[in-house]
C-alpha cells in the first residue's frame, strides 16, 4: 500500500491487502443492503475492505438529506431526478436526468471532512459514490456535457462507457467511478479481468462495487470467478437496485437480457488508486482482449 501523500494532514487508511477472504455476501439484492435512509448502503467495514463505498438515496418531492462526508470523498450522481447540493458555502445545482438510460448526468464532488445537504423539489434517486481518502479537494460541479463517452468493444461486446470520474476525466483523490450501458443482448465487463494484485506497470489493486439498473421487470447476469483458491465466486441474476461486491477475482461478463439494455455504475478505490488513480487490469488468460479493443 502507498502511504499518505506528503501534502496530506490525514493518515492513510489501514491496509487491507491482500484480501484474504471474500465478504460473506457478494450479491446484495435490492432491499438487502439498505440502512436508514439509504436503499443501498455499502461501506468499507460492511464490505470487509478499506476504501470503496456506495449509497443510494431515494428522496420524495421536497426531500432534504444531510450528509457528513467523514473520512471519504463523495460524488453525488443523479440516477433519476435532479437536486441541489449545499456544501462548504456553495450551492451546486444538478439538473439530473429522467433515467440512467437517458445519457450522462451532471454530478457534484464533495470533499472529505465536510457537511452537505442534498435537497430536491420533485424527488429523485441519487447514487453517492465514495472512497476513503487523504487529501481534501475542493467541492465542484461536473457538467454532463463534459463527461467523456466511450464506445468500447465490438459486435455483441459493444457497449457505452461514461467516464464521468475516470482518472483522466475528473480530479479525485482515490475515487474512480464510471457508468456502463450494455445494449440488449450484449455482454460487457468482458473479457473477464481483474485488479487484485500490485503488478508494476500491469495491474493495480482496486476494490469495486457494481450497482445495477435493468428496466421494469427485467433481469441481467453478473459473473465473478476466482483468481486464486477460495477467492470471490459468483453467478448472480441482477435486477434494479442490486449491488455486487468485487473484492478480488476475475469479473465479467455482465450480460444484458435480449429485450432491454443493462446499466451499471462502477465504484472503485484502493491502495492502487493513488496518487495517480491508475486503472490497470489483467485479462483472463483463457480469453482474448477484443472486447476492450
pLDDT for position 274: 62
> What are the residue boundaries of the structural domains of the chain, listed by start?
27-284
Measure Cα distances from 160 to 27, 34, 179, 189, 232 in Å. Answer: 24, 29, 8, 11, 26
CA distances from 98 to 102, 143, 200 (A): 7, 16, 42
Instruction: Work out the angle at residue 147's Cα, subtended by the Cα atoms of residues 143 and 153, and round it to the nearest 5 degrees.
Output: 165
Q: How far apart are CA 7 and CA 94, in angstroms?
A: 31
- What's the DSSP call for residue 44? H
Q: Which CATH superfamily is domain 27-284 in?
A: Jelly Rolls (2.60.120.10)
Does residue 274 contact residue 189 with C-beta atoms inside 8 Å?
A: no
The reported pLDDT for the residue numbered 278 is 81
State residue 215's pLDDT score: 86
Q: How far is CA 284 from the centre of its chain?
A: 22
pLDDT at residue number 277: 83
Q: Look at residues 148, 145, 113 and name the one whose alpha carbon lies nearest to residue 9.
A: 113
pLDDT in tens, the chain (293 residues): 222 333 344 444 444 333 333 456 899 999 888 999 999 999 999 999 999 999 999 999 999 999 999 999 999 999 999 999 999 999 999 999 999 999 999 999 999 999 999 999 999 999 999 999 999 999 999 999 999 999 999 999 999 999 999 999 999 999 999 999 999 999 999 999 999 998 888 899 999 999 999 988 899 999 999 999 999 999 999 999 999 999 999 999 999 999 999 999 999 999 866 667 888 899 988 876 556 65
Q: What is the pLDDT of residue 5?
A: 33
Looking at residue 113, its pLDDT comes to 98
User: Which of 176, 177, 146 is closest to 271 using CA atoms?
Assistant: 176
Q: What is the pTM of this model?
A: 0.91
pLDDT number for residue 272: 66
**Count of Cβ atoms closer than 10 Å to residue 87 Cβ:** 23
The helix/strand/coil state of 146 is helix
Write out the three cell numbers for 224. 465473478
Amino acid at each position: 500500500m502507498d502511504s499518505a501523500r506528503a501534502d496530506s494532514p490525514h493518515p492513510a487508511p489501514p491496509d487491507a491487502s491482500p484480501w484474504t477472504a471474500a465478504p460473506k455476501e457478494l450479491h446484495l439484492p435490492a432491499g438487502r443492503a439498505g440502512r436508514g435512509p439509504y436503499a443501498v448502503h455499502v461501506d468499507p467495514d460492511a464490505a470487509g475492505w478499506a476504501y470503496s463505498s456506495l449509497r443510494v438515496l431515494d428522496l420524495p418531492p421536497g426531500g432534504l438529506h444531510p450528509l457528513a462526508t467523514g473520512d471519504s470523498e463523495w460524488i453525488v450522481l443523479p440516477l433519476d431526478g435532479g437536486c441541489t447540493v449545499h456544501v462548504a458555502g456553495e450551492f451546486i445545482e444538478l439538473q439530473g436526468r429522467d433515467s440512467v438510460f437517458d445519457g450522462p448526468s451532471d454530478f457534484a464532488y464533495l470533499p472529505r471532512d465536510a457537511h452537505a445537504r442534498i435537497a430536491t423539489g420533485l424527488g429523485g434517486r441519487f447514487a453517492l459514490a465514495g472512497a476513503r481518502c487523504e487529501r481534501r479537494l475542493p467541492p465542484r460541479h461536473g457538467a454532463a456535457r463534459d463527461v467523456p463517452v466511450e464506445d468500447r468493444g465490438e459486435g455483441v461486446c459493444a457497449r457505452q462507457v461514461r467516464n464521468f470520474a475516470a482518472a483522466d476525466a475528473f480530479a479525485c483523490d482515490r475515487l474512480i467511478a464510471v457508468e456502463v450501458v450494455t445494449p440488449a443482448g450484449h455482454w460487457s465487463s468482458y473479457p473477464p479481468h481483474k485488479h487484485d494484485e500490485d503488478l508494476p506497470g500491469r495491474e493495480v489493486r482496486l476494490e469495486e462495487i457494481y450497482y445495477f439498473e435493468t428496466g421494469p421487470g427485467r433481469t441481467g447476469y453478473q459473473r465473478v470467478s476466482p483468481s486464486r483458491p477460495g477467492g470471490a465466486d459468483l453467478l448472480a441474476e441482477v435486477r434494479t437496485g442490486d449491488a455486487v461486491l468485487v473484492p478480488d477475482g476475475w469479473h465479467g461478463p455482465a450480460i444484458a437480457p435480449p429485450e432491454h439494455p443493462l446499466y451499471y455504475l462502477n465504484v472503485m478505490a484502493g491502495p492502487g488508486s493513488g496518487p495517480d488513480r491508475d486503472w490497470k487490469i489483467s485479462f483472463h488468460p483463457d480469453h482474448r482482449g477484443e472486447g476492450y479493443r
